Amino acid sequence: MFIQTEATPNPATLKFLPGREVLSSGTAEFREADDAVASPLAQRLFGVPGVAGVFLGGDFITVTKTGGEWQHLKPAVLGAIMEHYLSGAPAVAGADAEADADEVGFFDAADSEVVETIKSLIETRVRPAVAQDGGDITFHGYRDGVVFLNMRGSCSGCPSSTATLKNGIENLLRHFVPEVREVQSA
């Protein structure tokens, strides 16, 4: 098994590409070991000293470290991922992966058409780009021209996440949806 790695814009996070499916649908984020009860893969990764967070996507695993250098942590993370796939256990047991596409969020019923356009743009233009960096972004709500988004995986806590929200996503949404005034992290 050959596992590739890619740097992300967040220096504390590294993206691992096992060359096979991680989750068949949705994503799953584990910010601490206690959250990883339903995920044999995340449990195994949290067993590596220095792992602070795990994010699972369709074909990638993003690992966030507490400190130290990746050159010391990376071999142990690669070993844990390889052991997981050799075990045959699922990445997440049962249906615990979050089906983000079904997330409703909060908004006024009168804004439902605007919200559908926002969700469509996020799904087709924003999420694929954010996944390239080992993260995910989901709709959280819309009120008075303000779009609230959840940033997860390598995007959560990334130094460039504010720039991504303001310069990238906000400009895109304002271009296509004149009702949008601002984008904020939820």
Distance CA 103, CA 148 (A): 13
Across 114-128, average pLDDT: 91
Provide the pLDDT for residue 161: 72
The answer to whether the predicted template modeling score (pTM) of the entire model surpasses 0.75 is yes
> 3-class DSSP state for residue 161?
helix
Q: Is the CB of residue 10 less than 8 Å from the CB of residue 155? A: yes
Q: Which fold has domain 4-87?
A: Ribosomal Protein S8; Chain: A, domain 1 (3.30.1370)
Average pLDDT over residues 117-136: 87
pLDDT tens digits along 169-178: 899 999 999 9
Q: In angstroms, rounded to a whole number, what is the distance separating the alpha carbons of residues 133 and 121?
A: 18
pLDDT reading at 145 higher than 90: yes
The residue ranges of every structural domain in the chain are 4-87, 100-185
| pLDDT computed for residue 68 by the predictor | 85
Provide the pLDDT for residue 99. Answer: 46
Greater confidence, 181 or 101?
181
Predicted pLDDT at 95: 53
Average pLDDT over residues 39-59: 95
- pLDDT tens-digit readout, 6-33: 999 889 999 999 999 999 988 999 999 9
Q: What is the chain's Cα-based Rg?
A: 17
Domain 100-185: CATH superfamily is: Fe-S cluster assembly (FSCA) (3.30.300.130)
Distance from C-alpha of 42 to C-alpha of 31, rounded to nearest angstrom: 10
Which pLDDT score is estimated for 57? 92
Reference 100, options 37, 57, 134; nearest CA is 57
Average of pLDDT values for 37-61?
A: 95
Higher pLDDT, residue 165 or 71: 71
Is the separation of the CB atoms in 56 and 92 below 8 Å?
Answer: yes
CA 5 to chain centre: 16
183: β partners: 147
Give residue 172's pLDDT.
92
pLDDT at 110 exceeding the cut of 90: yes
Mean pLDDT score of the chain = 88
pLDDT tens, residue by residue, 79-105:
999 999 999 999 998 754 454 444 578
